[in-house]
Amino acid sequence: VMHNATFDLKMLAAQYDAYDCVARAQVADTQIAEMLLRNGRKSDVVMQGFALKALAERYAGMELDKTIRQGFYGIQSLDELSPAELHYAQRDVEATWKVYAQQLPELERDGLLRVAAIEGAAAPAFAGLELFGFGLDADAWRARVTEEQSQSQASRQQLDWEFRTVADRDLFGQTTLNYDHDEEVLTALKKLGVSLRTVRREALLACGHPAARALAEYREHQKIVSTYGEGFLAHLHPETGRLHPRFKALGASTGRAACGEPNLQNIPGESAFRECFRAPPGRVLITADYAGAELRVLAEMSEDPVFLRTLSAGEDLHARVASVMFRKPVTKQTEPELRARAKAINFGLAYGMGVGGLARQLGTDEADAEGLLAAYFKAFPKIRGFLDAAAKTALRRGYAETLAGRKLWFTDMRRDGRDEGSLVRIAKNMPIQGTNADLTKIAMARICAAFAQEGLDARLVNMVHDELVVEAAESDADAARRIVDRHMRSAGAELLRRVPMDVDLQVGPSWGKRGAPPDARERVAADPAAQRM
DNA sequence: ATCTGTGGCGCG
DNA sequence: AAAGCGCGCCACAGAT
């Protein structure tokens, strides 16, 4: 039983070079338990509200003095601890136990024991992500960002030209227009005869003015430079030369994790960026992601026969949806655009996108969108039924929940005066997104434990919601790959009974890159044997 | 010199 | 051009 177990596990693993032991730990975490109990209710007690000190007072009436910890830093041996410091340590342990004893019945009352176990089991995996880090080829990365910088400069030349008639100049003839400042840019555009209320890319491109187009291009490159440039590289650890991000296992109210310093969950998808994340010599990266994760969860929860049949047969659901919506046969090969549109719509519609949003997505009028929406829900009536029921039930009970029992209470949101439509969409989305998070966390825990159990030289190095990245010694790569595949599927089967979770696997020198070419994609479709495990 | 909120945009 | 959900980081502005 630990409070903020990921921290302690990380310290234990590092100090005693004992990650294999840590990876198999069975953990209960009082901080996570508290966050699960509070999710969406009483968010005004955040920050200090989840510290052990606060919980000890609230649950056990114990006063903890944390200032004494100052003496702990830099000691070489436990013998150096004073009696007062030892007493503090003892009180810390006692408080944690007492808090957990009080939390247990509350977890049981709220049906949170299962998800608490999932989180506890995943704690060692998150500790490992931070401790081991993710290797980045800094030179290749810097080259890529520099390229982006020069493209940004080039767009800037174009911008100076486009805005030459409306921009003020300084003594040296340089424009004083700040292209990073929305308000300045909007007034400058207005002088060019373009009246916009936002500088979002979509609006800039829609207005069709060359100055707006140039601005969109500049911002695209500038976004990369500012977000993934020097500040990003500053996170490389001086000793390990790797990135050691901070993961928050409960980063999102849905149960998803979040990541920062740096955020390794929003790296541009282009291979030019991802290929900079490389395995050291003699090692490989295994990239594994759930294929169509959210739609599979939606299929499971809605029991829609078409969704279930299509996905269980390993067929293309987006293509199927496209053929229904556009009333013609669609495959990935023959109608890639229609399929791509259906894919975008699929996610939007499933979570409450309206007619207006759909029209915008498709670039058509609302009447057309209305018809498509009707066609969608006529073809998949159980999807609508499930989503409506999810919203209704959640609003009545005051919380939404995932298949593992994770809950999001609407207490805070109601108090903040969030409108009903927004609550409805959250109620529809949270069970899907959250169940997906449950699944991935179960998989992480099993994979980590299995690596340790089998003594493999393999470590989890990243997780991006429905994707896991593992670094392994070449000699252990095949065994590691099998473990990843098996446990991602078994985690799926743990929560989903009606549809298999399909996994895409890639093994190669870098993130998302396949090694020597096995010609076809190594996608093992719906293997019943794998489901049982 | 920090902190906080906003608009915008990278990812799932 | 306010309504699909969930994040973190950037530049900026206004505050302390």
Distance A136 CA to B1 C1' (A): 32
The two tokens of residue A233 are 């590289």
Distance A44 CA to C14 C1' (A): 24
Distances (CA, A) of A155 to A160, A213, A286: 9, 10, 37
- What is chain A's alpha carbon radius of gyration, rounded to the nearest angstrom? 26
Nucleotide nearest A265, from its CA to each C1': B11
Phi and psi based region of residue A167 (left: phi greater than 0; alpha: psi -120 to 50; beta: remaining): beta
Distance A531 CA to B6 C1' (A): 47
Which residue approaches B8 most closely, CA to C1'? A200
- Amino acid in the structure at residue A50: F
CB A382 within 8 A of CB A303: yes
As a whole number of angstroms, the distance between CA A489 and CA A390 comes to: 26
Nucleotide nearest A464, from its CA to each C1': B12
Distance A29 CA to C1 C1' (A): 45
Residue carrying structure tokens 């919506």: A325
Nucleotide nearest A180, from its CA to each C1': C11
Which residue approaches C13 most closely, CA to C1'? A181
- Return the H-helix or E-strand segment holding A399: strand A399-401
As a whole number of angstroms, the distance between CA A119 and CA A250 comes to: 9
As a whole number of angstroms, the distance between CA A52 and CA A31 comes to: 7
Candidates A235, A232, A259; CA nearest to A465 is A259
Distances (CA, A) of A339 to A270, A285, A333, A346, A510: 21, 30, 9, 10, 29
Nucleotide nearest A352, from its CA to each C1': C4
As a whole number of angstroms, the distance between CA A256 and CA A460 comes to: 17
- Return the H-helix or E-strand segment holding A407: strand A407-409
Q: Is the CB of A88 under 7 A from strand C?
A: no
As a whole number of angstroms, the distance between CA A432 and CA A420 comes to: 19
Phi, psi of A419 (to 5 degrees): -75, 160
Angle, helices A113-132 vs A420-453, to 10°: value is 60
Query: Nucleic chain C: which protein residues 474-533 of A have CB below 7 A from it?
Result: none
Distance A203 CA to C13 C1' (A): 23
Nucleotide nearest A347, from its CA to each C1': C4
The two tokens of residue A140 are 């290749």
Distance A344 CA to B5 C1' (A): 31
- Protein-contacted positions of strand B (CB under 7 Å): 7-12
Q: Is the CB of A231 under 7 A from strand C?
A: yes
Distance A258 CA to B10 C1' (A): 14
Candidates A219, A5, A207; CA nearest to A119 is A5
Phi, psi of A102 (to 5 degrees): -80, -30
Q: What is the largest CA-CA distance in chain A?
A: 79
Nucleotide nearest A196, from its CA to each C1': C1
Distances (CA, A) of A33 to A23, A47, A273, A394: 20, 15, 37, 22
Phi, psi of A29 (to 5 degrees): -120, 115
Model confidence pLDDT, tens digit, residues A397-444: 999 999 999 999 999 888 888 899 999 999 999 999 999 999 999 999
CB under 7 Å from strand B: A 182, 198-202, 204, 216, 219-220, 223-224, 227, 263, 265-270, 289, 293, 433, 464-467
What are the strands, taking DSSP E only, across A195-294? 242-243, 246-248, 258-260, 283-290
As a whole number of angstroms, the distance between CA A499 and CA A22 comes to: 33
Nucleotide nearest A294, from its CA to each C1': B12
As a whole number of angstroms, the distance between CA A505 and CA A369 comes to: 37
What tens-digit pLDDT sequence spans chain A (533 residues)? 999 999 999 999 998 999 999 999 989 999 999 999 999 987 555 445 789 999 999 999 999 887 787 777 778 888 888 898 889 889 999 999 999 999 999 999 999 999 999 999 999 999 999 999 999 999 999 999 999 999 999 999 999 999 999 998 888 888 999 999 999 999 999 999 999 999 999 899 999 999 999 999 999 999 999 999 999 999 999 999 999 999 999 999 999 999 999 999 999 999 999 999 999 999 999 999 999 999 999 999 999 999 999 999 999 999 999 888 888 999 989 998 888 888 878 888 878 898 988 888 888 888 988 888 888 988 899 999 999 999 999 999 999 999 999 999 999 888 888 899 999 999 999 999 999 999 999 999 999 999 999 999 999 999 999 999 999 999 999 999 999 999 999 999 999 999 999 999 999 999 998 886 544 444 333 333 333 32
CB A35 within 8 A of CB A70: no
Which residue approaches C7 most closely, CA to C1'? A258
Distance A414 CA to C15 C1' (A): 29
Which residue approaches B12 most closely, CA to C1'? A465
Nucleotide nearest A351, from its CA to each C1': C4
pLDDT at A510: 96
Distance A413 CA to C8 C1' (A): 21
Nucleotide nearest A256, from its CA to each C1': C6
Is the N-terminal amide bond of A262 cis, ω within 30° of 0?
A: yes
Burial class (CB within 10 angstroms; exposed 0-12, middle 13-18, buried 19+) of A437: buried
pLDDT at A469: 97
Query: Nucleic chain C: which protein residues 251-280 of A have CB below 7 A from it?
Result: 251-254, 256, 258-263, 265-266
Angle, helices A381-397 vs A366-379, to 10°: value is 90
Q: Is the CB of A233 under 7 A from strand C?
A: no
Question: A254-266 burial, b for 16+ CB within 10 Å, e for fewer?
Answer: bbbbebeebebbe
Distance A202 CA to C5 C1' (A): 20
Q: Which residues pair with A503 in a beta bridge?
A: A290
- Sequence-distant (6+) residues with CB within 8 A of A127 are A5, A6, A7, A9, A10, A13, A22
Query: Nucleic chain C: which protein residues 404-433 of A have CB below 7 A from it?
Result: 419, 421-422, 425-426, 429-430, 433
Alpha carbon A290 to chain centroid, angstroms: 13
- The full DSSP string for A428-482 is HHHHHHHHHHHHHHHHHHHHHHHHHHTT-SEEEEEE-SSEEEEEEEGGGHHHHHH
Nucleotide nearest A222, from its CA to each C1': C10
Query: Nucleic chain C: which protein residues 2-61 of A have CB below 7 A from it?
Result: none
- Protein-contacted positions of strand C (CB under 7 Å): 1-13
Phi, psi of A463 (to 5 degrees): -140, 130
CB A426 within 8 A of CB A246: no
The two tokens of residue A272 are 């030019």
